[in-house]
Amino acid sequence: MLFFWSWVRVVLFTLMILFTFEFGLLAQLNHGGQPSLLPAVSARQAGFKMVEMPSLPQAVSSDMRRVSGKESAQPLRFAHPFFVELSPDNSGEWQHHSDGSRVWRLAITSAGAYSINLIFDRFNLAKGASLFIFNPDQSVVLGAFTHKNNLPSGILATTPVPGDEVIVELRIASGTLPSDLLIGAVNHDYLNVASFLPIEGSRFGRSGNCHPDLSCEVDNLWLNNGQSVCRLIIDGTELCTGVLVNNTRNDGTPYVMTAAHCLKNDNSHETVIFTFNYQVPNCDSRIEGSFIQTISGSDRRVYRADMDMALLEMSDIPPATYRPYWAGWSRATSPSAPVRTIHHPEGDVKKIARADNAPTNASFYTFVSNSHWRIAQWQEGTTEFGSSGAPLFDSNGLLIGSLSGGSAVCGNPINDFFWRFNKGWNFYAAPDQQLAFWLAPEGANVSSLNGLDYYDKEVQRWSNMVTGDIAGAWHIGFNEGYFSGHNSRKDHSYADHKGAFVSAKLHGIYVMPAKSSNTGTQKLNLKVWQGINEPEMAVWSQNQVNLTQIKANREYLVMLNEPLELVGNVWAGLELSYPQSPDTFALYQSGFSDNRSNTAWVKNTQDQWRQLPDWDANARGSSFWVDLLLSDVQMLDTSDAIIYTGHFKLAPNPVKHNLEVYIPNGNGYAQVEFVTLTGRMAHQTSVLMFNGKGNMNVSFLRPGLYVVRLKFEGKYYVEKLVVSGG
C-alpha cells in the first residue's frame, strides 16, 4: 500500500506543479502571474471609472503624415505624450480583502490610440507587491513587475499595450510595506507601432517592401550579428535601433551603441525599452515575431551630440533566453566591402541591407566635419525612419559605425550616413565623450575586437521547420476543417515530436497560429509531453489560454519562470475544445512530403495518439509549427541503441549530481522514492526509462545515505545510495 499512496502523492504533486506555474504573456524580465480580473470587452463595460486623456493636439497631424524620405538625424516619432500625475493616492480604486491584502486598479483611455504605453516617474515596489499592465481582453499582459524591477533612477518605461484602453493593477500582500508609484506620462500611439491589426492576415509590416528579412540570411556571420541588434522605444514616443557591443574584457557588460539624436531629453536613456528577437521566424514574412523579450532602462555612458554618438549601458544583462550576441568592432580607416546594416525600419521586424562598395569618409548635416561614413548606394534594401542608430558592419562582421540619417529610401536607395566608430574612439578626451574608455578599459590601442557569445550558445531555438519549408494550414476536405486544428472529426490534441533527449532544459515554447479568433471566448491548453512510443505524460502545461491572446500570424511565446528538465522522447503542442459553437483555430504546419520524416501527431476523440500520416490517408510527412527554447541539450542516439538487459543498478554510487537508473528492458515511467535511514521520505518523483536506462538530477538531496525504492511495471527494486554532494 505504501507505493500506491506514494504514487497518488506523486500524481497530486505533479498536478500541483503543472497548475501552479505562473506566466506573463509579455515581459520586461517579468516575474510571473496573471491579473486577478477576468478578461472583458472594455474597461468601461467591466465597471471601471475611466481616466480619459484629451484629444490629440492639432500639431500631431504633421507627425502622422507619411513622408517620402528620411529627415536628417530624426528618429521615428510614433506617439504623443500626455503628461499626468496619476498615483494610488489620487486616482483609481482600492479593493480590500479579508486576509489583509489590497488591490489598486486604474483604467486609462485615450480615444483612437492604436496602443498605449506608460512612463512611471516614480516606480518603487516593496517586496510582496506586484503590478500588472494589460488591455481589457488581456490579449497582452505586462508583468508581474516586482521589487526586482526597481531601478536606481526610479523611472520605469513600459512597452506598448495594443488598444486605446489600459488597466494598471497593483496587488499588495498583507503586511507589505508601502510602494511608491507615480505615472508621469501616458503615450498615445497614432502610427500603429504595435501593428495590432484586427483583420486576420493583414500585413503587420510598416516598412517599405524592399527590405530583406534578417531571418532569410543563411550565413551565420549575419545571423549571429543580428542577435546583437535591438529595437529601441525611447520616452515612449520615439523608435530607433541599437546594437549590443563587446568590450576588451569580454565580460558581457551590456553596452548598446545608438545615435545621440534618438535621446531627446536629459533622462531619455532611463526610459529606453530594448527589444530583442523582434523578427519574422524562419524567413516567413507573413508571421510577426514575438516582441516580449525586453529590458527597460539604461545608464548613459557616452553622449556627444555634435558627432551623433551615444553609448548606453542597459539596466540588466540580457538573459541567455534572449540569445544575445555582443558585436565585435573595428577602428579601421578603410573598411572592407561589402558592408551591411541590420535595423528596424519604421519600428518593423528586423531587416538587413547590403552595399557592395566600401563607405567613404564624409561630412553630414551639422555634425563634426568628416565624422561620418557615406554609403553611396545600397544594392539590397535601404534604411528608413526608425533605423536611426543601426550598426554598420564591414565584410568581416565588425562594427564600424551607427546610422545618423540620409536620403535613402526604397525607391532611391542612395546617400546614407553613419557616424564613424574610429572617429568616436577618442576624438574627445572626456570619458563620457569617447568610446575607448568603455570599450577598451585596459588601454585604447586595441584596433579591433571579435564579437562575443557570452553564454556560448547555451539556449537554442529548437524547431522542425527548416529553411525553405512552406508553412500553411491545410484543409482535410471541403468544409471539414484543418489537419492542425478544429475539424469535423473533432481531433482535440496536436503535438510535434522534438526528439529523444538524454537531457535538456526547457525555457520557453513558441506557437505559430495560422487561424485564430480575434473576438471569441474559447480557450486552449499548451502542453509539453514526454513518453516512449507516444505523448504519455504532460510535464508542463499552460491551461485556459484565450484564443484572443494567440493572434493569427503572430508568434506566441511563453517563457517559463524556471527551466524544466526534459528527458527521453519529447512532444510539444496544444489541446483544443469543441464547445457548442467552436471558434476556428489551426497551427501552421509544413507542407506534406513523402521524403519528410513526420513529426506531427494527432489525438482523436477516443484519446488515441497517431502520427498524422497514419491517421489520414491524404496526409504525408509533416511538422506542426511549435518550437522550444532549450539549453544543455544532449540528444539520445536511438539509431543503434543497445537495450540494457543486466541487473537493476544505480550509478554512480556515491553520486553528486546526475544519477543513472538501470532496469532490465525498461521502457516507460518508473516511480522512485528516496527515504532516509530514519524512514523519512526525502523525495519522490518519476523517471522515464528508455532502453533500460533513465537519468535524473539528485543534487538537491542533502549529502547522506538513502534507500532508493523503485516501482516499475509491478516490480519493486531497492538499493542503497550515497549522495556525496559538492
Give tens-digit pLDDT for 641-680. Answer: 567 778 899 999 889 888 999 998 888 888 999 988 778 8
Please say if the pLDDT value at position 425 is more than 60.
yes
Task: Report residue 29's pLDDT band, with 50, 70 and 90 as the boundaries.
Answer: low
For residues 687-699, give the mean pLDDT: 86
Q: What is the mean pLDDT of the chain?
A: 88
48 and 95 Cβ atoms separated by less than 8 Å: no
Q: Which residue, chain included where needed, has cell 540619417?
A: 405
pLDDT confidence of residue 32? 57
Beta strands in 663-703 (DSSP E): 668-676, 681-689, 693-697
pLDDT tens column, 562-617: 899 998 889 999 999 998 888 899 999 999 998 889 999 999 999 999 999 998 88
For residues 162-172, give the mean pLDDT: 95
Q: Residue 561: phi, psi to the nearest 5?
A: -70, -35
pLDDT tens column, 483-518: 999 999 999 999 999 998 888 999 999 999 999 987
Q: What CATH number labels 24-189?
A: 2.60.120
> CA dist 497 to 250, 533, 593, 594, Å?
38, 11, 17, 18
pLDDT confidence of residue 467? 80
CB atoms within 10 A of CB 1: 5
Please say if the pLDDT value at position 66 is more than 60.
no
For the domain made up of 649-723, the CATH class stated in words is mainly beta
Please say if the pLDDT value at position 203 is more than 50.
no
Q: Residue 615: phi, psi to the nearest 5?
A: -95, -25
For the domain made up of 214-449, the CATH class stated in words is mainly beta
Please say if the pLDDT value at position 11 is more than 90.
no
187 and 133 Cβ atoms separated by less than 8 Å: no
CA distance 335 to 358: 6
Q: What CATH number labels 463-635?
A: 2.60.120
Smallest Cα–Cα separation from 545: which of 139, 216, 187, 212?
139
Who contacts 487 (Cβ-Cβ below 8 Å, separation ≥6)?
476, 480, 481
The DSSP symbol for 184 reads: E
pLDDT confidence of residue 128? 92
CB atoms within 10 A of CB 22: 14
The DSSP symbol for 27 reads: B
Residue count of the chain: 726
Q: Which residue, chain included where needed, has cell 562575443?
A: 452
CA distance 158 to 167: 13
pLDDT confidence of residue 143? 86
What are the domain boundaries of the chain?
24-189, 214-449, 463-635, 649-723
271 and 187 Cβ atoms separated by less than 8 Å: no
For residues 135-140, give the mean pLDDT: 86
pLDDT confidence of residue 6? 33
pLDDT tens column, 284-343: 999 999 988 999 999 999 999 999 999 999 999 999 999 999 999 999 999 999 999 999
The DSSP symbol for 62 reads: H
CA distance 86 to 261: 30
**3-state DSSP assignment of residue 84:** strand
> CA dist 148 to 152, 155, 182, 618, Å?
11, 13, 17, 53
| Opening angle at CA 155, ends 153 and 157, nearest 5 | 140
pLDDT confidence of residue 638? 59
Q: Which residue has the higher pLDDT, 473 or 703?
A: 473
**3-state DSSP assignment of residue 134:** strand
β-sheet with 715-723: strand ranges across: 681-689, 668-676, 704-712, 715-723
**3-state DSSP assignment of residue 433:** helix
3-state secondary structure 44-57: CCCCCCEEECCCCC
pLDDT confidence of residue 640? 58
Across the strands, what pairs with 681?
675
Grid coordinates of 442: 585596459
pLDDT tens column, 372-416: 999 999 999 999 999 999 999 999 999 999 999 999 999 999 999
143 and 171 Cβ atoms separated by less than 8 Å: no
The answer to whether 214-449 and 649-723 have equal CATH topology is no
Grid coordinates of 595: 521524403
For residues 439-457, give the mean pLDDT: 92
The DSSP symbol for 126 reads: P
Please say if the pLDDT value at position 204 is more than 80.
no
Please say if the pLDDT value at position 110 is more than 80.
yes
Percent of the chain at pLDDT above 90? 67
pLDDT confidence of residue 2? 31
**3-state DSSP assignment of residue 700:** coil
pLDDT confidence of residue 674? 92
Lowest mean pLDDT among 62-66, 129-133, 190-194, 580-584: 62-66
